[in-house]
Amino acid sequence: MSRLTHLDEQGAARMVDVGGKTETAREAVAGGRITMSAEARDAIAAGAVAKGDVLAVARIAGIMAAKRTSDLIPLCHPLPLSKVTLDLSIEDDGVSAQAIVATNGRTGVEMEALTAVSTALLTVYDMAKALDKRMTIGNIRLLKKTGGKSGDFVA
């Protein structure tokens, strides 16, 4: 097993020093979904949710969350993001989300992409919970990453 880089020699948590790493183009893609009743899905699709346009608000929430990931996840580096896109699509039993995040830097943007997806789906839940309190958020995962020392990854 490789050494956990967020722990020092005594096992205490630390922020990894990335100062000596080379800046490279990095991109991460994450996805997830929220399942819900047909009633809730149809209301979201029709723009008939009392709180407003669920997908538009969720998209903005996800983008904002990606930009604030280092404020939410301990030991995460603040990064100058060059790109954040968040696509939401209505499916048979809910809504799927996919985020693409990019930077030119010394550390990856996987956490930013995962945070974008998670926050977008939580926003869908918040806005539609009056229609379906049994909604389930899940399958949030890294789909792809490029750049950096560890190389490319595709799920």
Known catalytic residues are: 126
For 25-65, the DSSP string reads: EEEEEEEEEEE--HHHHHHHHHT--TT--HHHHHHHHHHHH
Residue 129 makes CB contacts below 8 A (sequence gap 6+) with 135
Is 116 buried (19+), middle (13-18) or exposed (0-12) by CB count in 10 A?
Answer: buried
